[in-house]
Copies of this chain bind each other. A is one copy, B any other.
Amino acid sequence: MRFKFPLVAISLEVAMIVLFGLFVQYETDQTIFQKQNTTGPMDTGRFLELYPLFQDVHVMIFVGFGFLMTFLKKYGFSSVGVNLLIAALGLQWGTIMQGILHSHGQKIHIGIKNIINADFSTATVLISFGAVLGKTSPVQMLIMTMLEIAAFAGNEYVVGEIFKASDIGASMTIHAFGAYFGLAVTVILYRSGLRKGHQNEESVYHSDLFAMIGTLFLWLFWPSFNSAIAEAGDKQYSAIVNTYLSLAACVLVAYAFSSLVEHGGKLDMVHIQNATLAGGVAVGTCADMKIQPYGSMIIGSVAGMVSVLGYKYLTPFFATKLRIQDTCGVHNLHGLPGVVGGLAGIVAVDLGVSNMTTVARQAAALGSSIGTAVVGGLITGLILKIPIWGQPLDENCYDDSVYWEVPRVREHDSGFHERDDHSQLELDV
């Protein structure tokens, strides 16, 4: 670890700078302003109009995903810190990978859609990061970022350019893809030593509150996520309204099912932190279609229910029977709702167009996303299994102190003010 991490990180950044020097240019004045006058609705001239939506997505990636994973009591530094590291590398690499596939041999001209898409590509890796959280090293995560974004960009190209399928909010290409990629990696990295759980794999009261910061910023800005690259005008409007309503419906159903499946009818923070977001995932594919407001709410409700049931019944089953150790339960937040989204997209297209070809294209897109994710994840897992990347020992899992300088003082020292010093029971004996 002493020099491996710095060496890998600096080499990757140097590589990025070289690649950007070779392939990436500004949009020229002509590129920006001439396109504004073209008839195409997807013009790239809407920079400042789309910039607020980009910033919403940006908050989701860095604050949303980052804090959502801080629920573990001793793994907050890594959650929010490695999240930042992955995303910072990923957005550079995503710009290159997506740009090369779409630029057809020309230079890549960075516009607002490129930086939104670059942020999107990092989301895929951050979802997979949730599956392997606490059991991997920063070096492994840098490698996974490079491999997964390459696979993601390839699948996205196939789904969008070859199958010409709809997936505006990326239920399939980001959420299902990221989840199944992460599950495949974690299958390969299976640790029998963690079969019976780990004492660090739990939350404390305040870490659950930190995680709610992530949940809320994800929940709030999800309409921007699903609409940011939608066609201007009517479709973008629909994507915002549908996502807004799907998420609201999802909350009520997720709370209801959390209470229903828990001992004594209590609410479970894991469900609240995660399943309330499933509505945003599931409405993604058809967010810009005319599925009607109540249609969005049905999709959100189903997603909320499926997600809670997944956390309650599937995750333990996966861990004990299938050797799938999914730390954050990304299968329940992104995998299942992503598949629900893909299926909802098939139904929506079917109802709207009555055209078997379109339906088949949607189904192919779902299949391609899951297939590419699983194959890519298995290969990535095998590479990450090579014992040279500074993996933590079983006993050091879910513990920041392996990779971080951690304050040694006791927690309750903070803000701890006794009136009489002599009444203070000294704990550090």
Q: A interface vs B, CB < 8 Å?
A: 1-7, 9-10, 12-13, 16-18, 20-21, 24-27, 29, 32-33, 47-49, 51-53, 55-56, 58-59, 62-63, 66-67, 70, 73-74, 76-77, 80-81, 84-85, 88-89, 91-92, 110, 115, 138, 202-210, 212-213, 216-217, 219-221, 224, 232-234, 236-238, 240-241, 244-245, 247-249, 251-253, 255-257, 259-260, 262-269, 272, 276, 290, 292-294, 297-298, 301, 400-401, 403-419, 423, 425, 427-429
Contact = CB atoms under 8 A, between A and B. Distances in A.
A234 B204 contact: no
A419 B408 contact: yes
Contacts of A2: 264-265
Given A205-B407, A205-B415, A12 B252 contact: yes
> Main SS of the interface on chain A?
helix
Contacts of A276: 84, 88
Given A5-B259, A423-B429, A217 B415 contact: no
B92 A248 contact: yes
A363 to B, nearest CB: 27
Contact of A63 (B73, B216, B268, B294): B216
B6 A249 contact: no
Contact of A52 (B24, B55, B70, B417): B55
Interface centre among A76, A232, A294 (most CB of B within 10 A): A294
Nearest to A426: B425
Copies in the complex: 3
Given A63-B220, A265-B1, A10 B417 contact: no
A17 B209 contact: no
B293 A10 contact: no
A241 B133 CA distance: 31
Contacts of A138: 255, 267
A416 B5 CA distance: 25
Contacts of A248: 88-89, 91-92
A198 B265 CA distance: 25
A63 B205 CA distance: 18
B216 A62 contact: yes
Contacts of A404: 266-269
A48 B3 CA distance: 48
